[in-house]
A and B are shown apart, each in its own frame.
Chain A
Amino acid sequence: MLMEGLVEQLEGIVGRESVVRGKDKMESYLFDETCIPVRPSAVPDCVLVKPANSMEVSRILRLANENKIPVYPRGGGTGLVGGAVPARSGIIVSLEKMNRIEIDGENLMAVAEAGATLGGLLKAVEEAGFSFPPHPGDEGAQIGGLVACNAGGARAVKHGVMRSFVRGLEVVLPTGEILTFGGKLLKDNMGYNLMHLIIGSEGTLGIITKVVLRLNPKTPYSLTLLLPFNSRHDALNTVPRILRSGVTPLALEYVEKELMELSAEHLGEKWVFEGEVFLIAILAGEENVVYSEAEKLSQICVENNGLEPSVAERRDEQESILRIRSNIYTALKRDSMDILDTTVPPSAIGRLADAIDTIAEKHGAYIPVYGHAADGNVHSHIMKRDAEKYEAIKREIYETTISLGGTITGEHGVGKIRVKELYRFTHPKKIELMKGVKRLFDPNNILNPSTVLEI
Chain B
Amino acid sequence: MLNIIVLVKQVPDIEKVRFDMETGRIDRSSAPAEINPFDLNALEAALQIKEKLGGFITALSMGPMQAVNSLRDAMARGADDAILLEDRRFAGADTLATSHTLAAAIRKIGSYDIILCGEKTVDGDTGQVGAEVAELLEIPHIYYVSRIVNVSEKSITVVSETEDASYVLESDFPVLVSVTRDVNKPRLPTLKSKMKAMKSQVKIWHAEDLSGFLEPDKTGYAGSPTSVQKVVVQGEKTRQGRVYRQVEEGLAELIRLFESKGLI
Q: Which A residues are within 8 Å of any B CB, using their own CB?
A: 225-226, 269-270, 272-273, 291, 294-295, 298, 308-317
Contact = CB atoms under 8 A, between A and B. Distances in A.
Given A309-B190, A310-B190, A316-B15, 6 more contacts: A270-B185, A308-B190, A310-B189, A311-B190, A315-B16, A317-B188
Interface in B185-207: 185, 187-192, 194-195, 198
Nearest to A272: B185
B195 to A, nearest CB: 7
B13 interface: yes
B15 A313 contact: no
B16 A295 contact: no
A312 B188 contact: yes
Contacts of A317: 188
A226 B13 contact: no
Contacts of B118: none
Contacts of A313: 73, 194
B191 A298 contact: yes
A122 to B, nearest CB: 13
A294 B194 CA distance: 11
Nearest to A298: B191
A296 to B, nearest CB: 11
B64 interface: no
Interface string B173-192: 00000000000010111111
Contacts of B187: 272-273, 310
Nearest to A315: B13
B13 A309 contact: no
Interface residues of B, number: 18
Contact of B37 (A269, A310, A316): A316
A315 B192 contact: no
Contact of A315 (B32, B35, B195): B32
A308 B195 CA distance: 13
B34 interface: yes
Contacts of B189: 310-311
Contacts of B35: 314
Interface string B94-138: 000000000000000000000000000000000000000000000
6 contacts: A298-B192, A308-B192, A310-B190, A311-B188, A311-B191, A311-B194
Interface in B1-47: 13, 15-16, 32, 34-35, 37
Contacts of B190: 308-311
Interface of B is mostly: mixed
Given A315-B32, A316-B37, A310 B195 contact: no
Nearest to A309: B191
Interface of B: 13, 15-16, 32, 34-35, 37, 73, 185, 187-192, 194-195, 198
B51 to A, nearest CB: 13
Contacts of B34: 314
A291 B195 contact: yes
Contacts of A270: 185
Nearest to A316: B37
A294 B191 contact: yes
Contacts of A316: 13, 15, 37
A395 B179 CA distance: 53
Contacts of A298: 191-192
Nearest to A271: B185
B163 to A, nearest CB: 22
A313 B73 CA distance: 10
A317 B189 CA distance: 11
Contacts of A273: 187-188
Contacts of A225: 191
Contacts of B13: 314-316
A270 B181 CA distance: 13
Contacts of B194: 291, 311, 313
A298 B34 CA distance: 24
B247 to A, nearest CB: 16
B228 to A, nearest CB: 25
A314 B40 CA distance: 11
Given A295-B195, A315-B13, A315-B32, A310 B185 contact: no
Contact of B188 (A226, A269, A315): A226
Nearest to B31: A315
B223 to A, nearest CB: 32
B15 A310 contact: no
A310 B188 CA distance: 6
A178 B169 CA distance: 72
B118 to A, nearest CB: 14
A54 B238 CA distance: 29
A270 B35 CA distance: 20
Per CB-CB distance, the 6 closest pairs between chain A and chain B, nearest first, are A310-B188, A270-B185, A309-B191, A311-B191, A308-B190, A298-B191
A314 B34 CA distance: 7
Contacts of B185: 269-270, 272
A272 B15 CA distance: 25
A18 B35 CA distance: 49
A312 B188 CA distance: 6
A255 B190 CA distance: 19
A298 B190 CA distance: 10
Contacts of A272: 185, 187
B32 A295 contact: no
B246 to A, nearest CB: 15
Contact of A310 (B32, B191, B198): B191
A260 to B, nearest CB: 13
